[in-house]
Chains A and B, each alone.
Chain A
Amino acid sequence: MSEAFEHGEQQSSGAPEAALSALLDGELTEFETRRLLDRVAEQPELAETWSRYSLARTVLEGDPCQLAPDGFSERVAAAIGHEPLPSRDTDTTDTGHRRCWVQPLGRVAVAASVAVAVFLGMELSLRSDDTGSGMMAGHDTSQPETGSIDVEAQRRLNEYIQSVAISGDRNTVDDAFSELESLRQTPQLRPVSDRELLPAREPLE
């Protein structure tokens, strides 16, 4: 090997230019790439070296190429400086559009589920105030109670739904109310009393 090439291998492979060479070959780790990008920002001559390494690759591949005029990459960099950062959050593809309407709908669905749970909880607490002593006296728990819905509980439920679904548009909130109303009509979600939920007790001696 000629004298001009007899550098210490460890020393030369640790140079940032060696990292550029490895990056061109796709042989750099993510960590090394991040570190190299920081070095390139500090040493603009590394960017020129990278550009020439890339040019050599393009010319050797035989692809069409044209020498970039001075300052071309700087002009592109200046132009993208005025652009918002691209990120996966700004996705506007089909998936992105789907995400746009699926996310609020999901929020409303969660809100509706929570509202149903709160509604049932309020029903329980309101009814236990009325019937707590009766239960202790051995009230019959075999038949479900299907009494009317409390007006105050209904009002508080409506307020709650409006507060959690505030991010959705008017139609979405209306849809949520309709959905909740239809849920109420199903036999599985009828208002129940606390006596139905409590385990049957042994009669007191």
Chain B
Amino acid sequence: MAESSDRLLVERVLSGDNKAFTMLVLRYQHKVLGLVGRYVRDPHEAEDVAQEAFLKAYRSLHRFRGDSAFYTWLYRIAVNTAKNHLVARGRRPPACDVDMDEAQRSEMFEALRDTGSPDANLEKEDLQRVLHAAIDELPEELKTAFSLREFSGMSYEDITAVMDCPVGTVRSRIYRAREAIDRKLRAALDMK
């Protein structure tokens, strides 16, 4: 589902619309920075490496065939860019291989989860607390629609069947839930 919107954005970029690539950057910048940060500890270096990874992705976007999810493809580029950066700096990259299937990738995430900088871990935990508190405060109908989408990965059409309401209502409920959560998230980010 989310992959289909990534593919749409990729198609737009290949049609000459660079705004679509900026949307992909905005979507995955936090994730790519988090990933690269596991390899490159210096935040400024990590930022340069993440930027280079996005540039490489842009240059080879015509090779993205959509066989895998866009982020899986971007993930490989980011990890390779980070490893190459370490090698170029005379440092040894971690032993984990980048060519792994999804299950192995999850294992690697688990392994990497605890190796992030203390600040980054704290930041993520803080944000998780803020988001879960915001979800708990949602009215029941919004919370149900949002949870079915976000945690169960259901499509709007499936949620329509579960909640017995039109798809426009599902879309609206999810949006209003997201809007309410976003208000809390924005406030938390402003305090940082």
Contact = CB atoms under 8 A, between A and B. Distances in A.
A59 B16 contact: no
Contact of A58 (B3, B31, B149): B31
Contact of B29 (A13, A57, A72): A72
Contact of A60 (B120, B128, B175, B176): B128
Contacts of A187: none
Contacts of B95: none
A68 B62 contact: no
A44 to B, nearest CB: 10
Give the most central of A41, A50, A85: most B CB within 10 Å: A85
Contact of A59 (B27, B127, B169): B127
Interface string B15-31: 01111111101111111
Interface string B104-145: 000001001100100010011001100100000011011000
Contact of A86 (B35, B50, B60, B175): B60
Nearest to B64: A86
Given A22-B175, A28-B8, A64-B35, A1 B14 contact: no
A32 B138 CA distance: 28
A65 B171 contact: no
Contacts of A15: 175
B139 A25 contact: no
Given A66-B30, A72-B47, A47 B22 contact: yes
A54 interface: yes
Main secondary structure, interface of A, reads helix
Contacts of B176: 5, 7, 12
A27 B23 contact: no
A64 B25 contact: no
Nearest to B119: A66
Contacts of A7: 176
Interface stretch (A88-96, A115-123, A136-144): A88-96
Chain B contact surface mostly: helix
A10 interface: yes
B22 A77 contact: yes
Nearest to B10: A86
Interface string B35-72: 10110000100110011001100111111000000000
A59 B116 CA distance: 14
B181 A25 contact: no
B5 A18 contact: no
Interface of B: 1-6, 8-9, 11-14, 16-23, 25-31, 33-35, 37-38, 43, 46-47, 50-51, 54-55, 58-63, 109, 112-113, 116, 120, 123-124, 127-128, 131, 138-139, 141-142, 149-151, 155-156, 168-169, 171-176, 178-182, 185-186, 189, 192
Interface of A: 1-2, 4-5, 7, 9-10, 12-13, 15, 17-18, 21-28, 30, 33-34, 37-38, 40-41, 47, 49-60, 62-69, 72-73, 75-77, 79-81, 83, 85-88, 90-91, 93
